[in-house]
Amino acid sequence: MRIVIVGQGPFGEKVLEALVQKGEEIVGTFSPPDKRGEGLKALAEKSGIPFFCPSLMKDPQVYDDYAKLKPELAILAFVTDIIPEKLLAVPSLGTICYHPSLLPRHRGASAINWAIIRGDTRTGLTVFWVDKGIDTGPILLQKALEIGPDETTGSLYFNKLFPMGIDAMVEAVELIKEGKAPKIPQDESEATYEPPCDDRVASVNFEKPVKAIYNLIRGCDPQPGAYTISKREKVRFYDAKLLSSSGEKSKGEIVSIQKEGLQIAAKGGIIQIGKLRVDKGEKTGPIEFAKLVDVKIGDRFG
């Protein structure tokens, strides 16, 4: 089965590596021309596989290159560019894509972030058949897992969804080769879609309940970093812990600054922050941060 891989980053590289090790016939790869595509390109070159690094997948030359490869299957392994509908018609068997949620829940580019921000206790991954919609195609396979109460977007992805995703892509290819790959329509009544997780949604509102603030910080860790304002500086929070409160304090008030964490009062509890970062700066511990920004116990964020 002639396979084309479109991808980037470590995930795209590891999908290619796994399929090469399985002896699959990879006839070409497509990846961005910048740092995002370096790993996939290097592995393709090392493996003797034709590689292409277009600026945009909608470039006319991409279609010509795609068609000349005569792929039977295309695999999208972490793609942030838009794949033109014209390209989807080229592979005779279709195009499949990895998505880090249990579709149709959490469609969009920041599925892992939003699963945590929304307080989900369960998520997973989906390999689906790509159509012209955004994460709307029929489901080929799904794998579910639990979200730990202290997991961040980073730990959930790298420790669980990344390795599971590699195995799932290999499994999906095997099912297609055997003619056993289903096409299960998504239930549109269960669909959710969220915007990219960036600074438009990452601002901490200390008027909200402590659990909602905690989930936001975990969901934005490591990117983009949930933030608040202190001394006119945008300050980002990482390595958060949820603690019980022993008394009433003003919401957003700093109640403790210790090596293990800076503690902030919130509605119904305390948020302890292990690392903080002023925009354009490096992550620091609480004591170093307090000196850098000149904050003390009793000061308020927000």
**Per residue in 14-53, pLDDT tens?**
999 999 999 999 999 999 999 999 999 999 999 999 999 9
The whole-number pLDDT of residue 302 equals: 84
* CATH 3.40.50.170-classified regions of the chain: 2-190
Task: Determine the Cα–Cα distance for residues 289 and 233; give it in Å rounded to an integer.
Answer: 12
Residues 230-264 as b or e (16 or more Cβ within 10 Å = b): beeeebbbbbbbbbeeeeebebbbbbebeeebbbb
Task: Determine the Cα–Cα distance for residues 131 and 93; give it in Å rounded to an integer.
Answer: 13
Planar angle of CA 10, 123, 5, nearest 5 degrees: 30
**Per residue in 172-230, pLDDT tens?**
999 999 999 999 999 999 999 999 999 999 999 999 999 999 999 999 999 999 999 99
Domain 210-293 has CATH 3.40.50.150: no
The whole-number pLDDT of residue 246 equals: 63
Tell whether the model's pLDDT for residue 232 goes beyond 90: no
Beta-strand relationship, 94-99 and 73-77: parallel
Task: Determine the Cα–Cα distance for residues 274 and 238; give it in Å rounded to an integer.
Answer: 6
* CATH 3.10.25.10-classified regions of the chain: 210-293
- Residue type present at position 83: I
SS3 call for 236:
strand
Give the residue-averaged pLDDT of 98-108: 98
**Per residue in 239-259, pLDDT tens?**
999 999 767 789 999 999 999
Whether 42 contacts 19, CB under 8 Å: no
Q: Is 91 left (phi over 0), alpha (psi -120 to 50) or beta?
A: beta
C-alpha 98: how far from chain center: 11
Average pLDDT, the chain: 96
Give the domain 2-190 fold: Rossmann fold (3.40.50)
The whole-number pLDDT of residue 78 equals: 96
